[in-house]
């Protein structure tokens, strides 16, 4: 019964979007986490999605979403001159994460919309299945 | 005159099953709306149903080594959707369109269910003879 597969497919989509929301929350929370060297600075993290065609075959053509991993942004970290900061290095500079708040916010909105889409699909399928179970009554 | 379930229920069981499969494909499109390089797919319902309706031609297997050629209703041909605007990440899913198609498909599924329910009620009436 292919309607049951929708629970897996939409569920995988929802969990992938949750990972995306999680990384956004982490990036936003750490947007101002200063450190005293570029290597120790927090870098913006983003998940990489891919369609899981391994589980999909000709009989169950729908592909689930798989989170391949989390990549750190390669953008340069911000450097600010704050000699009074306790984290400042010997020259008075602190290093700030390369988080772009605008990008993170638009990512958050996109993730929450996609999550809602998946929930809607799931609810509709559940309703259809319930009505199928009532068939013939 | 022998009345079989196939005659009594008509095309509706196949239609229902196809609607279920199409719902699955559309759900995968919605789920993969943010997956890079994912191409949206869809089931051509009319063609597949026409294949299911017509007498199926099957290939004769003269040796055990031959692979089974599945009929059209078991393996509906999936087609790729032509996107109306390009995207940078190679994803061809348009969430609004997929949602609209899914809602349309859900309504059609419900109508198939209703037809099927009506057939079952008719059968029950015939059995009870009231």
pLDDT digits (tens, 9 = 90+) for B95-113: 999 999 999 999 999 999 9
Listed in sequence order, the residues at least 6 apart from B50 whose beta carbon sits closer than 8 Å to its beta carbon are none
Listed in sequence order, the residues at least 6 apart from A73 whose beta carbon sits closer than 8 Å to its beta carbon are A43, A44, A45, A46, A98, A99
A2 in reach of chain B (CB within 8 A): yes
Distance in Å, alpha carbon of B67 to nearest chain A alpha carbon: 14
Q: How confident is the model at residue A65 (pLDDT cuts 50, 70, 90)?
A: very high
Residue ranges of the alpha helices (H) in A30-100?
Answer: none
> In terms of Cα–Cα distance, which of A48, A112, A63 is closest to B31?
A63
Q: Which residue has the tokens 């259809």?
A: A128
Task: Report how many helices (DSSP H) and strands (DSSP E) chain B contains, helices first.
Answer: 4, 2
pTM, rounded to two decimals: 0.81
DSSP lists the bridge partners of residue A123 as none
pLDDT at residue B117 greater than cutoff 70: yes
Interface touch B74/A63, C-beta < 8 Å:
no
> In terms of Cα–Cα distance, which of A109, A118, A7, A111 is closest to A49?
A111
Average pLDDT, chain A: 90
Distance in Å, alpha carbon of A27 to nearest chain B alpha carbon: 19
CA angle A19, B40, B96 (to 5 degrees): 75
Interface touch B24/A6, C-beta < 8 Å:
yes
pLDDT value for B5: 77
Lowest mean pLDDT among A15-19, A22-26, B69-73, B76-80: B69-73
Give the helix/strand (H/E) hosting B4. none
Distance in Å, alpha carbon of A78 to nearest chain B alpha carbon: 27
Q: Which residues of A are less than 8 Å from B35 in CB distance? A: 49-51, 65
Distance in Å, alpha carbon of B48 to nearest chain A alpha carbon: 14
Interface touch B35/A117, C-beta < 8 Å:
no
pLDDT at residue B44 greater than cutoff 90: no
Q: Which residues of B are less than 8 Å from A16 in CB distance? A: 31, 34
Interface touch A117/B99, C-beta < 8 Å:
yes
Give the number of A-B residue pairs with CB atoms closer than 8 Å.
107
């Amino acid at each position: 019964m292919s309607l049951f597969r929708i629970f897996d497919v939409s569920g995988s989509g929802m969990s992938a979007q949750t990972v995306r929301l999680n990384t956004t929350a982490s990036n936003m929370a750490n947007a101002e986490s200063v450190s005293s060297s570029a290597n120790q600075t927090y870098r913006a993290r983003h998940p990489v999605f891919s369609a899981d065609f391994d589980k999909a075959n000709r009989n169950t053509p729908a592909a689930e979403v798989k989170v391949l991993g989390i990549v750190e942004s390669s953008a340069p970290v911000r450097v600010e001159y704050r000699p009074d900061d306790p984290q400042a290095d010997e020259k008075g500079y602190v290093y700030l994460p390369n988080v772009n708040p605008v990008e993170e916010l638009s990512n958050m909105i996109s993730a929450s919309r996609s999550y809602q889409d998946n929930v809607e699909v799931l609810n509709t399928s559940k309703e259809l299945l319930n009505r199928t179970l009532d068939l013939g009554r | 005159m022998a009345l079989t379930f196939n005659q009594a229920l008509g095309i509706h069981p196949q239609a229902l099953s196809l609607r279920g499969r199409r719902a699955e494909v559309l759900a995968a499109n919605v789920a993969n709306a943010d997956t890079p390089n994912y191409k949206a797919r869809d089931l051509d319902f009319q063609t597949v149903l026409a294949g299911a309706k017509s007498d199926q031609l099957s290939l004769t297997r003269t040796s055990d080594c031959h692979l089974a050629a599945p009929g059209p209703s078991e393996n509906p041909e999936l087609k790729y959707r032509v996107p109306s605007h390009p995207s940078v990440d190679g994803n061809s899913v348009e969430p609004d369109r997929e949602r609209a198609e899914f809602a349309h498909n859900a309504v059609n599924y419900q109508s198939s269910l209703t037809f099927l329910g009506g057939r079952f009620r008719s059968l029950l009436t015939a059995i009870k003879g009231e």
